[in-house]
Chain A
Amino acid sequence: MRCYAQAILDSGIPQDNHVVVSGIGCSGRVAGYMKIDSYHTTHGRAIPFAVGLKLANPELTVTVFSGDGDLAAIGGNHLIHAARRNVDISVICANNFNYGMTGGQLGPTTPFGARTTTSPYGSPELPFNLPYLLAASGANFVARWTTIHVRQLKRDILYMFSKPGFSFVEVLVPCPVGFGKMNFIDEGLDEMLLYKERCVIADGIPIDELGIDLRTDQPIYVGRFIDRDLAPYRPVRLEDIE
Chain B
Amino acid sequence: MTSSGVLTGKHFFQGDEACAEGAIAAGCRFFGGYPITPSTEIAERLAHRFPEIGGVFIQMEDEMGSMAAVLGASAAGARAMTATSGPGFSLMMENIGLAVMMELPCVVVNVQRGSPSTGLPTLPGQSEVMQARWGSHGDYGLAAFSPWSPQEMFDLTIHSFNVADRYRIPILLMADEVVGHMVERVVIPREDQITRWERKRPDPNNKDAFEPFLAEDPDLVPPLAYAGEGYRVHFTGLTHDELGYPDMSAETHHRLVTRLVEKINYNSEKIVQTEDHFMDDARIVVVSYGSTARSARRAVKDARQEGIPVGFLRLVSLWPFPTNQIRELADHVDSFIVAEMNLGQMALEVERHVRRPVTGVHHAGGAMMAPDRILDAIREVANTGYTHLR
Contacts and interface: CB of A to CB of B under 8 A. Distances in A.
Instruction: Report which residue of A47, A50, A237 has the largest number of chain B beta carbons within 10 angstroms of its beta carbon.
Output: A237
B30 A41 contact: no
A84 to B, nearest CB: 9
A16 interface: yes
Nearest to A78: B65
Contacts of B233: 37-38
Nearest to B227: A37
B77 A56 contact: yes
A32 B60 contact: no
Nearest to A80: B61
Contacts of B352: none
A153 interface: no
B235 A237 contact: no
Interface stretch (B66-74, B151-159, B194-202, B269-277): B66-74
A128 interface: no
A32 B234 contact: yes
Interface string B54-83: 111110111011111111111111101000
Contacts of A31: 234, 236
Given A42-B94, A48-B72, A77-B62, A19 B228 contact: yes
A57 B227 CA distance: 9
B119 interface: no
A81 B76 CA distance: 21
A55 interface: yes
A38 B69 contact: no
B230 interface: yes
Contacts of A54: 72, 76
Contacts of B50: 235-236
B51 A238 contact: yes
A44 interface: yes
Given A44-B64, A77-B61, A81-B60, A49 B71 contact: yes
A48 B33 CA distance: 11
Contacts of B235: 38-40
Given A45-B95, A48-B64, A53 B72 contact: yes
A36 B232 contact: yes
The range of chain B's interface size is 35 or more
Contacts of B71: 41, 49, 52
B227 A235 contact: no
B38 interface: no
Contact of B75 (A29, A39, A235): A39
A54 B72 CA distance: 8
A198 interface: no
B32 interface: yes
Contacts of A50: 72
B236 A40 contact: yes
Contact of A60 (B60, B94, B227, B238): B227
B232 A60 contact: no
Given A38-B234, A57-B227, A51 B69 contact: yes
A44 B62 CA distance: 12
Contacts of A49: 68-69, 71-72, 75
Interface in A47-81: 47-57, 59-60, 77-78, 81
A41 to B, nearest CB: 6
A21 interface: yes
B237 interface: yes
Interface string B338-363: 00000000000000000000000000
A126 B186 CA distance: 57
Contacts of B94: 42
A204 B66 CA distance: 39
A145 to B, nearest CB: 27
B245 interface: yes
5 contacts: A38-B235, A39-B227, A39-B236, A45-B67, A52-B72
The 5 closest A-B pairs by CB, nearest first: A52-B72, A52-B69, A53-B72, A40-B236, A56-B73
Given A32-B236, A39-B102, A81-B61, 19 more contacts: A16-B232, A37-B232, A40-B236, A44-B64, A45-B68, A49-B68, A52-B30, A52-B32, A52-B68, A52-B74, A53-B76, A53-B227, A55-B56, A57-B226, A60-B76, A77-B65, A78-B65, A78-B68, A237-B54
Interface of A: 15-17, 19, 21, 29, 31-32, 35-42, 44-45, 47-57, 59-60, 77-78, 81, 235-238, 241
Interface of B: 29-30, 32, 50-52, 54-58, 60-62, 64-78, 80, 94-95, 98, 102, 226-238, 245-246
